[in-house]
Each structure stands twice: as C-alpha cells, then as structure tokens.
C-alpha cells in the first residue's frame, strides 16, 4: 500500500455509514440483553422463556461487553467520535407514559363496545380499572415532572454535616428501596428538599377572599400579589428575598422561565390560568423586602371553601410542606369546617399553626374581642388545641394590628427560625419513620401468620376480589362526575323554567290577596332559589352516596387485609361542606295583579311570566348560568379532595396487596432482615438538622 493510501481518510458518507452500522449493531446487542433479562422481568407478559444457565448468561454478557468495546476502538481508530445522546431520558419516559395512558383509556366501556356489547355488570369495574391505572401512571408522571427521581444518595452525601437527621434519612431511603415502598418516596424527596433549602416557610391558608394576598402584600410592603373577590391563586406562590425583583415559573412540561414580576397574575389567577391549564408546578417571586431576609419564605396558597376551584387541591397537597401554617379566618364571616380541617391537617402533618382574624377593621373593638374569644373556644372544643388568635388588617387605617402581630409573634420567630426549621424537619422525619415502621411491622405480622399457620399463605387473601372492590369504588367517581356535570349543565339553562314556576305561584294568589311589591319580589326570589337548590341537591346526593360507598369499601378492604384502621363516614363526608347557593342579589319588581286573574289562572300565569322575563329575565339567566359554573367548579374541587382522601388510604392498601400477592406469595419474607431494619428505626436523639 502506498504512502498516499496510508494517509487517506474515509469520506463523510463512508464515516456516516460506519457509525450507523455500529449503532444498529449496538441496538441488536441491546435486544439480546433484553432476551437475557427475560427470566428476571416482572412483566406478566414475558416474551421469552429462559433456557440459559446462569453461567451461560454471564458468558453472553461478557461477549456483548467485548463487542461493544471493540466497536468503540474501531470508531476511535478512524477518528470518529461517539455521537452524543439525543434525548433526555425523563422526557422519553414521560412521552411513553402518555401512550400508556392512552392504552388504558382505550379500555373504557364506551370504547370497548366496538368489540361487542359490554355486560352491564362489568361497566363499573372497567371504569374503575381505567381510573386506577391512569391515576397510577399520572402519579409516576408527576413524580418525574417534579424532579423526584433525583439521586438521593448523592444529595444526602452532600448533607453529611446535618448529622443524625441525614443518617436516619439514609436508612429510610434504603428501606424504601429494599422493600419497594414507593408510596413514601414523595415524602422522602420533600424532606431532602427542605434539608437542602435551609429556609423557613411560613404559609398562609384560608378560604377564597379571606384576605391572604392583601395581607402578604402589606407584610412585604409591595403590591406584588393580585387581589380580588374571585378565586385568584391557582398554585402556591413563594415570596423570597432577592435583588432585583424577579419572577421564576416552573412547568410540568417545559423548562422554567424567568419573567418580569408584573406578569405574576398570568400564572396565579384563575381568570388567566383557569384550572392551571398552563401546567405550572412552582412559582417563586424574589423581592428586596427586609422582612424576607435570613431565609424566611412567605407562601400564598390557593383558597379553600365553596368558591375554590382546582387550586384547592394544590393547597391540600401543599399543607404538610410548610414549617409554620398561618390560617386566616374572615372576620366578616365565621369559623367554618374548612378552617377547622386546615388547622387539623397542619397538626397531623407535624406543622405548628397560628390563627389570624383577618379584616378585623370591619369589627368594633368590643366585637373584635368577642370574635377572638369565640374562634379560640371553637378550636379548643373541636380540636382540643389551645391556639392564640390574633386580629390583623391589611387596611392602612388599622396597620397597628398587623404591626403588633409581626412584632410580638412573627419577628421573634424570624430570630429563631433556624431552630424552628430543625424542629420542623425533626417532626417530619419522625412522622415518616413511624409510617415506614408501621409498613414493616405489617409485613412482619403477615409473614408470622403465614409461618405460624394463621394464614395458609399470602394467597389466602383474595387479591382479585380486593382489587376489584377498590376498582369498583373508583368507578363511582366517573358516575358522580357525570351526574354533577349534567346537573350543572341543566342549571345553566334553568332560569326560564324557574321564572315559569314563579309565575304559576303568583297566579295562584287571588287578585284581592295580591301582596305588596316587596312581598312579590320575596316570593319570586324564594321560588328561584328553591328551584336552584332542588336541582343542586342531586349533586350533593351523588357526592354523599359516593362518600359513603367509598367508606364502606375502605372498611371492607382494611378488614380483608388485616389492618386495624377504623374508617368513619364523617372522614369523607366532611369534604362536602359549604355547598354554594344561587346568588340573585336584590330582586326588584314592579308587578301588579293582572286582570286575567279573574278569568283564567293559566292565562294569567303566562302574562305574569312575560312581565317577569321583561323585568328580570336577563339577570335570572345570568345568575343561573353563573351558579351552574360555580356548582360545577365546587363539585370538581370536592371530587378531587374526596379522591385525595380516598387514595391516601387506598394507595397503601394497593401497595400492601401488591406485595402480598406477588409471585413469591410473600412466604419467603426475610423476617430477620425486617427485624434488623425495625431496630435501625428505633428513635434516637437526633443531632441538629442543619
């Protein structure tokens, strides 16, 4: 070969062909690896039977490694660099999960009718099956979207200086991995996030229009948060110290954005981001406020109550994440079940709570004192918690109330926030330790029953029956959702029918007994409100029926699995508080008894109806249309909360059932290993978490 040939290079087409051939060969080798892994796969639809001995598997694997190493050397010898990966693994997984969701949605009864009639008895279970699987896929997708798949070991290694807290977290993370307790991974991630953040989060909670945003604006001395009478906070908004002011928005399906703070309303208001259709997962506003120094973070949360929409679910999910919960109770209203439930949930999550009587400028000093005493007594009576209740106002004329609360209560917390953060983390880690310990003790107890003959084996539990029971319960959500949607749709067009009913009611009044104008307006108002309430009652009945059915399902499942949990009807029914009502405002009518009353009630009612339409028809139509929308939003919010509460129990049962009905039947449980892990979780005095 001549010197010219030795110095020659492959042309670009030849180099590309070589790379493509190597890539294709590597893909085929990956296919071989998938065949080797067939025997270890947990898939119920394995494609290959394992016919290789373990030694043969190792030899084939070694050859594959050698072939790949030689591919790299060949390309390197030709001066061809290895191509960089083109796709993010998380993105590829999430795209695939979207197709998994589509695959399950194709199994709904409506879509399966293309293959023949679906038996009526199978429709609830099929709907439940689809809901269960889609919910599971969505949770995995949410897990990936929120960055929960980060390397815990590396993150914890960076926090070694945090002492005992990190040591226990390492133990918990190992146990969660070893036993497949995936239901605890979101909590693990949240705690590690807080260990890394070294901040103290003070979150404000309350019903829609309780004054949270106005109060926060006053605290940070900036009109940064939008305020209004409508539901305005779609996702929790964090206010942190930063110079200059800056808005950062994270999304579930795209990269985060840094924007001007003036654009905040585009993401946190229901009007500009209804039902969070922009898929915002996190919002941080940086402000140069002196009250945000030293790692203090203030959080504005979505409102709760009958006017709340999809943001309420965000608040419920966020509740356990803060270090201090400040619950606002509207002085112009009264203490509600939503307020009590918020305080209770904070304490159940190991989070201290303070209570504020917002808009206290609306009350005279003596009335304010009585309201403070009443709220405090009710909290003590209903929850057994003795909490101080502080009056505040965002109005400049009553700034002394806010300043007193900040100086006497909050500023001292600012000074000791580091210790408070450590206490908060200690409580959260302790709560996680207890729940993981309970899961291990349940597994050990079940293994003991199997070994001791208490159960013939783990298959003694009818997994199919228990799973079908939970799926049928989920099917109830589909039925309830359809009922609520139909009722809300019907309400939007009920105005005309309600006016006709009011006209009939008036036509039954004799001409000599015709009431004054104020009474006529009151009669019409009552008929319209009654018509709306009668229709809306179908929504409440559907939700009550669903809540009771879900409770019965949880009781039956807990009993079948040997859990000692006692589920009360009130646990789920408590989500159905404060159902909205039709708001007509003030009805003004000038309606005299028609002369036709003396001749024919039916003809008179038609005449009265025409006059009602002329005077208040548009107002009534708009009121019923708005009420239908509000009721639909309330039903969706209630169903979301109801499903969150149901899943908080059902997910644990499903995970337990999956473990018990696994291929090994649960009979080869390493009891000694579980006992060692339980011993490693014995509470010890933890070192500071910072």
Among 316, 149, 296, residue whose Cα is nearest residue 236: 316
Contact present, 36 and 61 (Cβ < 8 Å): yes
329 three-class SS: strand
Question: What's the predicted TM-score (pTM) here?
Answer: 0.49
Q: Give the whole-angstrom CA distance, residue 606 versus residue 10.
A: 93
Among residues 380, 401, 398, 399, the alpha carbon closest in space to that of 390 is found at 401
> What pLDDT sits at residue 148?
44
- The DSSP annotation for 438-486 comes to HHHHHHHHHHHHHHTTSSS-GGGS-HHHHHHHHHHHHHHHHHHHHHHHH
Q: Residue 161: is its pLDDT beyond 80?
A: no
Q: Which of 612, 467, 493 is nearest to 553 (CA)?
A: 467
Is-contact 92 439, C-beta < 8 A? no
**Measured distance CA(297)–CA(642) in Å, rounded:** 30
Question: What residue has token string 């072939």?
Answer: 67
In contact, 417 and 684? CB cutoff 8 Å? no
- 123-140: per-residue pLDDT in tens? 887 887 888 788 778 777
pLDDT confidence tier of residue 226, bands split at 50, 70 and 90: confident
Burial letters 87-113, b for 16+ CB under 10 A, else e: eeeeeeebeeeeebbeebeeebbeeee
Name the H helices within 493-600. 495-507, 517-561, 569-573
Domain ranges of the chain: 3-77, 198-415, 464-646
Q: What does the block give as tokens for 277?
A: 């259709």
Cα gap 248→285, rounded to integer Å = 7
Q: Is 562 left (phi over 0), alpha (psi -120 to 50) or beta?
A: left
Whole-angstrom distance, CA of residue 257 vs CA of residue 254 = 9
pLDDT class for 110, splitting at 50, 70, 90?
confident
* pLDDT tens-place string over residues 280-289: 878 889 998 8
H/E stretch holding 418 = helix 417-451
Dihedral sign for Cα 169, 174, 176, 182, please: positive
Rounded average pLDDT over 77-84: 85
Task: Give the confidence band of 486 by pLDDT, cuts at 50, 70, 90.
Answer: very high
Exposed/middle/buried for 177, CB within 10 Å: 0-12, 13-18, 19+?
middle
Confidence of residue 462 (pLDDT cuts 50, 70, 90): low
pLDDT for 390 beyond 50: yes
Give the C-alpha separation, 506 to 515, whole Å. Answer: 10
> What H or E segment, with its residue span, contains residue 605?
helix 601-660
Which one has a higher pLDDT value, 598 or 478?
A: 478
**Residue 638 contacts residue 491 (beta carbons within 8 Å):** no
How far, in Å, CA of 351 to CA of 361, rounded? 29
Q: Give the integer Cα–Cα distance in Å for 101 and 130.
A: 9
The whole-angstrom distance between residue 101's C-alpha and the CA centroid of its chain comes to: 19
Average pLDDT over residues 521-547: 88
Confidence of residue 224 (pLDDT cuts 50, 70, 90): confident
Neighbour count for residue 165 (Cβ, 10 Å): 22
Band (453; pLDDT cuts 50, 70, 90)? very low
Alpha carbons within 13 A on the beta-carbon side of 389: 25
pLDDT tens figures, 435-447: 788 778 767 766 6
Tokens representing 257 are 């954005």
How far apart, in Å, are the Cα atoms of 150 and each of 131, 145, 188?
28, 11, 11
Lowest-pLDDT choice from 90-104, 293-307, 333-347: 293-307
Write the pLDDT tens digit of every residue in 263-273: 998 888 777 88
CA angle (284, 290, 291) in 5-degree steps = 70
Cis check: omega of the bond before 12, within 30 degrees of 0: no
Q: 63 or 45: which carries more pLDDT confidence?
A: 63
Report the CATH fold assignment for 198-415.
Rossmann fold (3.40.50)
Pairing of strands 280-287, 246-251: antiparallel
């Amino acid at each position: 070969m001549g010197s010219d040939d030795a110095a020659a290079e492959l042309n670009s087409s030849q180099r590309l062909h070589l790379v493509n051939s190597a890539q294709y060969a590597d893909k085929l080798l990956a296919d071989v690896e998938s065949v080797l892994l067939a025997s270890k796969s947990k898939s119920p639809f394995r494609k290959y039977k394992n016919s290789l001995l373990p030694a043969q598997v190792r030899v084939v694997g070694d050859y594959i490694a050698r072939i790949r190493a030689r591919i790299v050397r060949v390309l390197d010898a030709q001066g061809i660099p290895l191509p960089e990966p083109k796709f993010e693994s998380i993105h590829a997984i999430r795209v695939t999960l979207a197709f998994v969701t589509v695959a399950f949605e194709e199994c709904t009864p409506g879509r399966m009718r293309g293959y023949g009639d679906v038996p009526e008895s199978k429709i609830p279970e099929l709907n439940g099956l689809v809901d269960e699987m889609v919910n599971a896929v969505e949770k995995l997708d949410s897990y990936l979207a929120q960055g929960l798949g980060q390397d815990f070991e590396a993150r914890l290694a960076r926090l070694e200086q945090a002492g005992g807290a990190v040591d226990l977290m390492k133990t918990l993370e190992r146990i969660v991995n070893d036993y497949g307790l995936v239901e605890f991974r979101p909590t693990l991630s949240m705690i590690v996030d807080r260990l890394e953040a070294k901040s103290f989060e003070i979150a404000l909670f309350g019903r829609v229009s309780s004054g949270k945003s106005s109060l926060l604006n006053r605290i940070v001395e900036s009109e940064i948060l939008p305020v209004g009478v409508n539901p305005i906070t779609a996702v929790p908004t964090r206010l942190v110290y930063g110079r200059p002011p800056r808005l950062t928005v994270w999304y579930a399906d795209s990269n985060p954005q840094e924007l001007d703070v003036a654009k905040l309303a585009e993401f946190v208001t229901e009007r500009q981001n209804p039902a969070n259709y922009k898929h915002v997962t996190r919002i941080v506003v940086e402000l140069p406020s002196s009250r945000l120094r030293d790692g203090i973070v203030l959080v504005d949360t979505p409102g709760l109550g009958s006017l709340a929409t999809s943001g309420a679910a965000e608040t419920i999910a966020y509740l356990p994440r803060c270090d201090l919960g400040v619950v606002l109770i509207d002085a112009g209203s009264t203490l509600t079940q939503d307020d009590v439930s918020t305080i209770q949930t904070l304490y159940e999550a190991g989070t201290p709570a303070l209570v504020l009587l917002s808009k206290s400028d609306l009350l005279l000093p003596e009335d304010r004192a009585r309201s403070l005493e009443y709220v405090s007594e009710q909290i003590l009576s209903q929850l057994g918690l003795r909490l101080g209740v502080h009056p505040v106002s965002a109005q400049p004329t009553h700034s002394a109330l806010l300043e007193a609360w900040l100086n006497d209560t909050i500023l001292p917390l600012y000074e000791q926030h580091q210790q408070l953060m450590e206490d908060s983390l200690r409580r959260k880690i302790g709560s996680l330790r207890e729940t993981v310990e309970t899961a291990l003790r349940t597994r050990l107890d079940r293994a003991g029953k199997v070994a001791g003959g208490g159960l013939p084996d783990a298959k003694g539990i009818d997994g199919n029956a228990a799973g079908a029971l939970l799926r049928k319960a989920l099917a109830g959500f589909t039925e309830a959702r359809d009922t609520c949607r139909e009722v809300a749709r019907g309400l939007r067009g009920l105005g005309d029918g309600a006016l006709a009913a009011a006209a009939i009611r008036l036509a039954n009044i004799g001409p000599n007994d015709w009431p004054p104008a104020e009474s006529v307006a009151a009669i019409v108002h009552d008929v319209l409100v009654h018509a709306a309430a009668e229709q809306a009652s179908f929504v409440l009945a559907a939700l009550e029926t669903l809540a009771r059915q879900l409770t019965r399902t949880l009781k039956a499942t807990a009993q079948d699995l040997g859990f000692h949990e006692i589920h009360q009807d009130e646990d789920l029914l408590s989500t159905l508080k404060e159902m909205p009502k039709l708001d007509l405002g003030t009805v003004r009518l000038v309606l005299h008894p028609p002369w036709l009353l003396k001749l024919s009630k039916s003809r008179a009612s038609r005449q009265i109806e025409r006059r009602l339409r002329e005077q208040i028809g548009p107002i009534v139509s708009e009121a019923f249309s708005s009420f239908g929308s509000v009721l639909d939003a309330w039903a969706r919010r209630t169903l979301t909360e109801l499903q969150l509460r149901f899943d908080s129990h059902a997910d644990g049962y499903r995970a337990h059932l999956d473990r018990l009905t696994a291929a090994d039947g649960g009979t080869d449980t390493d009891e000694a290993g579980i006992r060692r892990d339980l011993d490693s979780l014995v509470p010890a005095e933890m070192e500071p978490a910072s």
